[in-house]
Each structure stands twice: as C-alpha cells, then as structure tokens.
Structure 1
Amino acid sequence: MKFGPKTTATAAVIGSALMLTACSGGAGASGTAPQAASAALTIGTTQDVRSWDPAQAHVGHLLQPYQAAYDTLILRDPDGKLSPMLATEWKYNTENTKLTVDLREGVTFSDGAVFDAAAAKANLDHFREANGPQMAQLKSVEDVKVVDADTIDIELKAADPALEYFLSQAAGLMGSPEALGTEGIKTEPVGSGPYVMDKAATVKDSQAVFTAREGYWNKDLQKYQKLTLKVLTDPTARTNALVSGQVDATLLDPKTGKQAEGAKMILAANEVDWQGLILFDRDGKANPALKDVRVRQAINYAFDRKTILDQVLLGQGTPTSQPFGKASGAWTEELENYYSYDPAKAKALLKEAGYENGLTLEVPGIPDFQTQISVVKQQLADVGITLNVGAALTNTFTSDIAAQKFSSMYFSLFQGQPTVAIDQIVSTQALYNPFKNTSSDLQADIDAVRNGGDKAPELAQKVNKYVVENAWFAPLFRVNQMYYHNAKVDVVPQTQQAVPSIYNYSPAK
C-alpha cells in the first residue's frame, strides 16, 4: 500500500540532515559506499545491556546499543524530526486513533528472515507482552493488524501524539520474528540493523563488538566497519580511556570534562534533563505543609539557581523554573525565570501560610546528587525550611515512589516530547505523580494536548504554565550532557537524548 503525496513521513523527511538514500518502498539495498568503511569506532558506555531482546530495550544511554543491531520503524534525526526508516510512510485516520504504516520492502534480518507486515506485527505484539522497561510506550495500542504484505494498521484505544516518537525509540526496534522470545536473542541480537555482533569478541559487562553487516539496505547509515561499545561504569575510567585513546567518544561530567578538555578532547554539549525538587505531595497527604501552594512557591523562591549551577556543575547548564525543555515546544520564555532568587519573598509566603516558625521536608538520599542536596539543604535552611535527608534510594525506588513512600525528592528527569513528559511527571498515570494530583482545568489541558495533533506542543504550554504557577516542582537547572570525543570522529548530539544515536557518528573529515 502506498499513500498519496501528503503523508507524515513525506513532510518530516524534507530538510533532514540524515535523509535516507531512498525513502520509498523501493529503496535500493546497495545505496552508496559507506564513508571510510574500513574505519573502527569505539564508544565508552556507562553500563551493559541486560538482554538483547528488543522488547527489553530502554531509553537514553541504553537505547544506543540496540541501534547497532536493530533498525526502528521511524528514524529520529539529531534535531528531533521524524524520517522514514523501516516505515516509509505513515498516516493517521481523521480521529487519530489508527496509524496506517507502509513498510520498506527488500529488507531482511541478520538470520535471513524477511521483514514484512507480519514481522512488524510480531515485534509490536511482543513488545506489548514482554514486560520490558519501556512497555508503557505502547500502552495506547489496542491492536496491530496486517493489511497486506507491506502495510500494518496500529489501532489505538485513544489518540496518542507520542506514538510516532515511540516508534523511533524502544517500541520501534524490529527483531527477527523467528528469534523473538528465544533464549538466544538475550545474548546475541538478531535484527535488520547496520551491524551484527561479533560473539567471540564480545564479553559481558566489558565490551560488545559489532561488524558491518553485508547487504545492509542503507549504506549511508553504516559508517564503520567495526563498532565496539566498551563498558566503563566509572566516569574517571571513561576519562582516562578517552584521553589515552582506548575509546573515541564517551559521556563525562563537568569535573572530568576539564581533564578531557585539557587533553584537547571535543565537547558535544546537549541539555537533556532538568534537576531539582519534585514536590510530590501537593494534596498534603503525608506532609500537610505541601498542600499550600504558598509553601511550594516559597521553596522555589529560596534557590539561587545560578550560584548552585556554577558551584556544583561548573556552570554546565541553564537555570530554569520550568520542567519542560525547549525542544518539547511546551517551553515558554515567560516561565524560564518565573521564580527568581528572593529569600525575603519566600519567608513572607511561609508566614502567610502559617509556617513562620518553619517546616520540614523529607527527601531520600541520592548518591549521585549528594553535593546538590547539601547546597539545597543550606538554601532552604536560610528561609526556615529544614531538609531531612533519609536513606539512599535503592533499586526498588520506582516502586517506592509509586507506593507514595516519598513526599518530595531531589532528582534528575528527562525533558521529552510534551505527551512523554506529561505521562512521566504530570498525568495521574505518571510515575512521578504518585499521589495522583490533578484538577479539572489541568485534566482539560492534558486532554487537549492528547487530541491536539500537530498543535500538541503549543497546547502543552498551558500544562507547563499550570504546574509552574502551582509549584508542582522546584526545577533548578537544565543540565548539559557532557559528551566528549576525539578528533578522529565527528559527533552530532541527539536532541532530548542522553547520548548520540549510533547514526550521529562519522569519521572526521
């Protein structure tokens, strides 16, 4: 099945910096010769993949490894635009409750299986059933139906503006239907992607080694003959590996970044997350003081955001009062510095709310944020708020949050597309809204975003304004992802992603 000229994919592909060599169903398998095909690339990663089953893929740092072996249905360009990949075209029905996807022909998986509509359905069904970490990406999907050999219909329970984005992420990874759910795919990926794993050279929790796959359908994305993902959990170890030439690119932090810059490594900075306090208990169920919006606003006025950023992160970021990032479309200039540093105003608001003699906040400890929390504690104390820091988060922290164990916490959160962010931190289904706070006005604004189509980012500005004015959070700053590389490789940051996509690396010109 082929659509007419006005399709989502056709609009998205124009001007793409990484436009594929052929965007119609008749893409050539040969393409053009990859640049510097004999070159090797070694990337320092923060952790190893737990399972290579595509349904177990994660986001952020842990999406990148899967891109070596698996194509996604939709390609997300460095600037966030969506372009064809295994899906050549896609189009919603009038109600935005059915997405018809036309699939690329002539593509095979590394085990020889054919990619077609049945394979795409098998992957999407498997993702929905496999209980992976990003299973919620397809929570809006009611059913996937095969229309013909190269077309599927994705039927939704309700409109989901984030679906196309998710199909460029974990939910869109396509593995061989013959390997899905098997024991073998847990340790050796079987996809249609640009690289295949060298099992003999791969060592668990040490390195994953890939070689260029013969006959890959898009040689423009296959820029290296060999790709190694070297696992280095410690930032100092990653720095030493980069400076010594063991790796070509890796993620560091402001402190280790200084050493890298001293060795003439190149920074590809990218603001992805925001850090600050999440004031979970806005109805005062566990901490009555947090029910009063004046208390939550006072907390926001207590912080000298720029000083904290300069002292703790060496200025690597941007002070902000809003939890939605610039690339989301929900960001507005008027909310950027909505809460200025004003201790006197903070004290006045506390007095109005009946807390002239102070109040106490309880937060869990966060090993990676000990310095930030200590500075936050001091600045809150300056306006009469005591911050008690409890036991450190454990690997059960997501279930602890859902169980309303914390009334507030200091954390770092991803600034994604509007509906992605809403479903992470604002809606009553959001993990980071465990007390399920809402209002009729807020819910109406959220519903408008979900049904807003192309206007969703603009409509999300009202959601952003609501949570800022009502001080649901106390954001401090958006943080630079400190991604460094040597002069042998060119690296383009990926918007709203902790590390670049595999396709964003190329031999230096």
Structure 2
Amino acid sequence: MLKRTLFAALLASAMAMPAAAQTLKFGLAEDPDALDPTLARTFVSRVVFSALCDKLVDIAPDLSVVPQLATEWSWSADNKALTMKLRPGVTFHDGEKFDAEAVKYNIERHKTMQGSQRRGELSAVTTVDVVDPLTVKINTSAPFAPLLATLTDRAGMMISPKAGAALGDKFATAPVCAGPFKFVERVAQDRIVVEKYDGYWNKANVHFSRIEFRPFIDATVRFANLRSGQLDILERLAATDAAAVQKDKKLKFGSITEIGYYGITINIGKSDKAKSPIGSNAKIREALELSLDRQGINQVVFDGLATPGNQWVAPSNANYAKAVPVPKRDVAKAKQLLKEAGNPNPVVNLVTPTTTDARNIAQVVQAMAKEAGFDVRIQATEFATSLNMADKGDFEAYILAWSGRPDPDGNLYSFHGCKQPLNYSGLCNPALDEVLNDSRLTTDIVQRRKAWESAAKIVLAERPIIYLLHRKWLWAYNAKLTGFKEYPDGLLRFTGMKLS
C-alpha cells in the first residue's frame, strides 16, 4: 500500500512539473546580413526573421495570403487604398503596444530610411492613414496589385517604433519585433540566439524556449553536424545528400520547389566594370548563355532535383512566358557570336558566394563556357561581402540565388526597374519600366501575364541576368521534430513545431 501511495505521489509530482525547456539548434547555409527588416537582403536573414518578426500578413503553403498581425483587409473601389484591421492585444518584445501608429511608422521607415531595401517594393505607396488604433489605410498613387503579397515578407514586418527611433541605423544590433521569439545575442559567423517571448499573442503554440541559429557554409559540414546531434534541423541540404537522409531512420527529409531562381547577373551599367567584354557587348552575353547546358548544371550540382529555367519564375509556373522558352545549348553558335563580337576568347571575372551550391555552379559554368572560348575566372567571396560588391557594382558577373516572392513582381521589379535597390546589373530601359509598371496597375491576371511576357522579351534580349534554374528547398531534420511544414518561400513557421 505504501509503495502504491508513493508511486502515485511521484506520478502526480511528475505530471505537475512543467515540460522540459526545448532548444532548437538550426543550421544555416550562411551568416545573415543586417537583422533589420528594412536593410536586410539575404535569405538567411529571412529565416531568422521568421522567429523574430511577425508580418502584417503571411502566406499559406499554397501561396494564398493569410492573416498574421492584420486579421482582415479590403480594397477601395478604385484599388488605390488597402484598409487593414489589426490584431488586438499584440505587443513588441519591449512591451510597447502594436497598433496602427506602429504600422504607419514601419511603412514610412521602409520608404525613407537611408539604404532601405524595401523602397522599391513599396514605391507605389504614398501615405499611411491611422483610421483608429486598430485600423490602418495604406494609400497608393495608382492601383498596385502586388501590395498584399509584398506585405507577406520584410516590407510587412513590424519593428518597435520606440526601439527603431532609439537605435536608428544600429537597430540590427538589438532588433525588437513582435514575433514568437526575442533577440538575445549575435556572435558574427558563429551564432544568433533568440528566446521565447512570453507576451506573444500566440504563445500557446510556441514550444521552444530558445532557438540557436548557427551558420555552416559548407553543406557537408552542416550535414555532419546534424548527424552527430549538434543540430536539430538544417536548411539547404545538398541534393547529393538527400538519399542518405531518406535512408536514415533518425532523420526526416522535406522538399518543395522554390519560387525563386539561381542566375548570373551581368554588370551592364552599374559601374565602370560594365565596360568589361561581357558587360559592354550583348553578343558576348548571348554566347555565354548558349555555352551553358542548364540540365547539365542541374545534374552535376543538384543531382537532377532542380528545374532548368530562363525566367524569374519556373516553366511550371502559370506566369511563365511560354513565348520565350529555355534555349538549348549551342556551342557552335556561341563561338560564332564571339567571332562576330571580335573577341573569340573573352575573360569573364565571375564573383560567387562561397556557399557549396554557388561555388559548384561557378565551376560547372567555367568548364562549359571554356568549350566556347570563354576564360571564366572565379572569385569566391563570403556571401554578405558579395552582396556589398553587387551594391557597389564591384563585379563583372555574379552568381546570385534569389529566394523568390509569391507575386512574380517581387522577382522582377526591383531587379530590372531603373535605379531600383536590387538592380545590380544597372539596366535602365524605359520600355521595360513601362511594362513593369503596367503589370502593377491591374489585378487582372491575364493582363498582368501579357505585361510579364513583354518584360521577358526585353530582359532576355538584354540579358542583365542569365537565369539558370529553380532549386528545390531541401531540409533535413531530427525525426523527433514534429509540426514541420514545407513552404515554397523556403522559410519555417516555428509556431506549432516541437521536439517530442
């Protein structure tokens, strides 16, 4: 009887104890750039922001827009004003209240802050009206179809106005948002640590006490750390390791086709380096494209798991311009074009991030282009540094992966519009600007697709970017991790996830 009573007491005591604190150890493919939604450019910063910073709206796995900090929204009759109702009872990590004034502050910060990467995304926004504490109206100069989709990413992330005003351009050193986790520390090239925010509006679905983000540039090293238990999950698994993960009972595998692309950006007007052979001559750019076998790159680098493409969306995407199909490799024609250009053996200095995939793509491009007469010289550079080089135009050609946006405008406008923040090529074509703007003026998808087809014909003739392929996002994670869902933007939603 005593034993039974003692056992019951121990059982009751165990049941009364709180669940053990859980730390999720997350392996990143790079070290993020600035942890400031207004200034950030990298995909990995978006992975970290998924924990730190809620947005006005989010996407579902099918790319439909769903509520987050805004619970409902409606357009005006002329489609020039978006009114949003905000979630009540939300606070930032510093305890400040989230309301319509905070939305106004954030949108205006995105538009006016020096170095803002969101300026182009919100170029059509003119003013923001505070209707009442929980209602905000975003006004545009003309109908702006991509706006709602734009707000599902960094343009829709909300930071604390108090912290933003206090820290200014140093906000990234101690970011304060309204997401499920709050910032603890960052050690460059080593770790970013966040911990659960007890004031979070949906805290019942947050099961980790901490998340430790750790960058491992080499995919093999990243995978080894997962297998040894030093990580619980990693993003951008090497395609060549996918089969090993699927055979390992201690691990699980996730994949989904991205909405972004891998491409080679050519400096054709960004700086004096546009005077290079490839930057100054469209025939040499065409020759480089014709020297490349996209399916061959796919097989060698991605084990056949990617999708070859020549536009900002994949050929399987409903918004792909079928009138401009993927060109086949033609080395003979490439040689002829180089001969016509008066430069049969052009040198191309190719900047590439040091990430495994980018480095491997560069090496395959180098080998393929050599057959046509190109001398491709690879300059491997740390990722954030390579972006700074792109900003300054300190490159001739640059391998860049863009993680993609739900609306094709997010893959297109900022890269090809005159003087837009991500226009690393320096292309400025008034005819292209006109069709890009036309695509934003209507929600009629048929009319938008016509504009995108016109844009494709211009871009693919100028070749400021030679689009190569569309990856699959590949994840590997501890089999004890539950609640994981694949999203085509490549980001995780940490609410609902737990280690069993």
Q: How does the TM-score come out when normalised to structure 2?
A: 0.78
| Contact preservation (8 Å) 1:268, 1:493 | yes
Per the alignment, in what secondary structure is the counterpart of residue 379 of structure 1? Answer: helix
* Pick aligned residue for 1:40 from 4, 19, 22: 22
Deviates further, 54-63 or 377-386: 54-63
1:13 aligns with none
RMSD over aligned CA atoms reads 3.7
* Matching of residue 142 in structure 1 with residue 129 in structure 2: no
CA-CA distance at 1:92 after TM superposition: 3.2
Deviation at residue 402 of structure 1 after TM alignment: 5.0
Worse-superposed segment, 262-271 or 184-193: 184-193
State the Cα distance separating 1:474 from its structure 2 match: 2.8
Quick one: distance in 1 between partners of 2:378 and 2:322?
Answer: 33
Q: Please tell me whether residue 460 in structure 1 is matched to residue 452 in structure 2.
A: yes
2:358 is equivalent to residue 358 of structure 1: no
Tell me the secondary structure at the aligned position of residue 346 of structure 2.
strand
Distance (whole Å) between structure 2 residues aligned to residue 55 and residue 288 of structure 1: 35
Q: Distance in 2 between matches of 1:39 and 1:484?
A: 23
C-alpha distance in 2, partners of 1:428/1:345?
A: 31
Secondary structure of 2:310 counterpart = coil
CA contact (8 A) 2:151 2:157 kept: yes
Conserved 8 A contact 2:253-2:477: yes
Checking the alignment, whether the CA contact within 8 Å between 2:25 and 2:211 is kept in structure 1 is yes
Report the equivalent of 1:281.
268
Q: Deviations over 1:440-460 (max 9, x none)?
A: 2x3332121121225275232
2:299 matches 1:310: yes
Q: Which residue matches 2:146?
A: 162
Q: Distance in 2 between matches of 1:186 and 1:282?
A: 31
Partner amino acid for 2:163? A
SS at match of 2:71: strand
Q: Which amino acid aligns with 2:68?
A: M
Post-superposition offset of 1:158 = 4.7
Offset at 1:339? 0.8
Matched, 1:67 2:55: no
For 2:497, what is the secondary structure of its paired residue? Answer: strand
Which of 334, 343, 346 aligns to 1:346? It is 334
Q: Which residue of 1 aligns with 2:62?
A: 79
Contact 1:90 1:101 in 2 (8 A): yes
Tell me the amino acid that sits aligned with residue 178 of structure 1: K
For 2:468, the equivalent position in structure 1 comes to 476
Residues 415-426 of structure 1 mapped to structure 2, 5 A cutoff: 415-416=404-405, 417-426=407-416
Q: What amino acid is the match of 2:180?
A: P
- Three-state SS of the structure 2 residue aligned to 1:496 is coil
Amino-acid identity (%) = 24
Structure 2 matches for 1:422-437, cutoff 5 A? 422-430=412-420, 431-437=422-428
- The one-letter code of the counterpart of 1:339 is P
Q: Assess if the C-alpha contact under 8 Å between 1:327 and 1:496 holds in 2.
A: no
The secondary structure found in structure 1 opposite 2:164 is coil
Post-superposition shift, 1:62? 1.1
| CA distance in 2 between partners of 1:394 and 1:487 (Å) | 31
Amino acid at match of 2:427: K
Helix, strand or coil for the counterpart of 2:96? coil
Contact 2:277–2:347 (8 Å) recurs in 1: no
Q: SS of 1:491's equivalent? A: coil
* Structure 1 residues 361 and 274: alpha-carbon distance in aligned structure 2, compared to 1, 3 A threshold: farther
CA contact (8 A) 2:294 2:468 kept: yes
Counterparts of 1:315 and 1:99, CA distance in 2: 43
Which sits farther off after the overlay, 400-409 or 80-89?
Answer: 400-409
1:451 aligns with 2:451: no
Query: Given the superposition, is the C-alpha separation of residues 397 and 312 from structure 1 closer, same or farther in structure 2, using an over 3 Å criterion?
Result: closer
Asked whether the 8 Å contact 2:265–2:425 carries over to 1, the reply is no
Aligned partners of 1:209 and 1:160: how far apart in 2? 36
Distance 1:40 1:72, change over 3 A: same
Give 1:226's match in structure 2, choosing from 191, 209, 214.
Answer: 209
Which residue of 254, 258, 275 corresponds with 1:268? Answer: 254
Report whether the alignment pairs 1:211 with 2:196. Answer: yes
Cα separation, partners in 2 of 1:493 and 1:132, compared to 1, 3 Å: farther
Structure 1: how far apart are the matches of 2:171 and 2:95? 15
Q: Look up the equivalent residue of 1:154 and give its one-letter code.
A: I
Match of 2:311 in 1: 322
**1:381 and 2:370 correspond:** yes
C-alpha distance in 2 between matches for 1:412 and 1:186: 23
Helix, strand or coil at the partner of 2:162: coil
- Match of 2:82, SS state, is strand
The residue number in structure 2 matching 1:5 is none
Change (3 A) 1:400 1:145: same
SS of the equivalent of 2:49 reads helix
Taking structure 1 as reference, are residues 395 and 247 closer, same or farther at Cα in structure 2, changes over 3 Å only? closer
Q: Distance in 1 between matches of 2:319 and 2:303?
A: 27
TM-score, scaled relative to structure 1: 0.77
- Counterpart Cα distance in 2 of 1:68 and 1:391: 30
Aligned residue in 1 for 2:484:
491
Between the aligned partners of 1:491 and 1:39, the Cα distance in structure 2 is 19
Which residue number in structure 2 is paired with residue 181 of structure 1?
Answer: 165
Q: Distance in 1 between matches of 2:444 and 2:243?
A: 41
1:97 Cα offset (Å): 3.4
Unaligned runs of 5+ in 2: 1-17
The Cα offsets for residues 246-303 of structure 1, whole Å up to 9 and x where unpaired, read as 3321123235556544534222223434334333428996246666655433332222
The one-letter amino acid paired with 1:244 is S
Do the aligned partners of 2:31 and 2:44 also contact (CA within 8 Å) in 1?
no
Partners of 2:159 and 2:465 in 1: how far apart? 39
> Are residue 97 (structure 1) and residue 80 (structure 2) matched?
yes
Structure 2 counterpart of 1:27: none
- The verdict on how the C-alpha distance between 1:327 and 1:313 changes in structure 2, with shifts beyond 3 A counting, is closer
Seen in structure 2, the aligned counterparts of structure 1 residues 390 and 188 have a Cα distance that, compared at 3 Å, is: closer
Per-residue CA distance 1:52-76 (angstroms, 9 max, x = gap): 6655555522123233343211122
Contact 2:281 2:341 in 1 (8 A): no
Structure-2 change in CA distance of 1:382 and 1:232 (3 Å): closer
User: Which range moved further: 91-100 or 285-294?
Assistant: 285-294
Distance 2:381 2:36 in 1: 31
The superposition leaves residues 171-204 of structure 1 with CA deviations (integer Å, 9 ceiling, x where unpaired) of 222234333333597565544333445x5xx564
Inter-partner Cα distance in structure 1 for 2:453 and 2:20: 48
